[in-house]
Structure 1
């Protein structure tokens, strides 16, 4: 039996096989649409959505175009999300009037710039964890995403910030 009908039936091993088979194609497709830092997150969302919407899949039709359509929609969502965030960014107010505060203000500016470069999902996880003082489980519950996704986003985001700083 092909992957489409097996996924539609809820066969989890079919999803694993689908990821192994279509993952590279989806990654290539997404990489042409979104910045490199967001590719992993978008690919993960594509297969998560494939699984969540499996009941709408028509088993008589090809699976590949359906998955690529999901990938295109999620890539566009990612680009829109980043664009919205860029428009909302507010510059850090100048606090450099106090001589002792200058190094702290410089460090805060550097951190703010590094956070602004991160993809929205990674930045969101880091901000909730470090400034919101939430645990990873609390972040997963608040954002309604799997705990592993929160861990991956936090790790990738912190790694990228370390490179930037």
Structure 2
């Protein structure tokens, strides 16, 4: 008998959903942030794992558990966005904006692009550690577990990668 998380979930083992949540919630949460407003991410995340628990018997353990969970997450995010009602304000009630006027948006987008390009230059191991930490919201211990490497290796990769990123992103001397 196979004892992987996938098989345990499909078999309806009680502890499987907790292990599934601990293992996959950070990735699903990060995925949901692309679609759902920040204040609703945790609610949709709970719906995703409730559905995974209720319908785990439908999961084919020969397939990717992550892909199955992200498929559920996408469907629940779409459902969530469909049912929400957006507040509309009459045009007459809108005054001139104060503070942020949109001129900085181009700078923000340019910074994101510079960071994306700089990350692409890093060695795969350093980039992966940084992306899991900053975009995947994982702790260094979780990254070490996910990558199956020692914690010290994750710390070294992250430190080297961040040091290299700071050099790549430093303003050019004129």
Q: Given the two structures, how large is their TM-score scaled by the length of structure 1?
A: 0.50
Q: Which has the larger radius of gyration?
A: 2
TM-score normalised over the length of structure 2: 0.47
- In terms of fraction of residues, the more helix-rich structure is 1
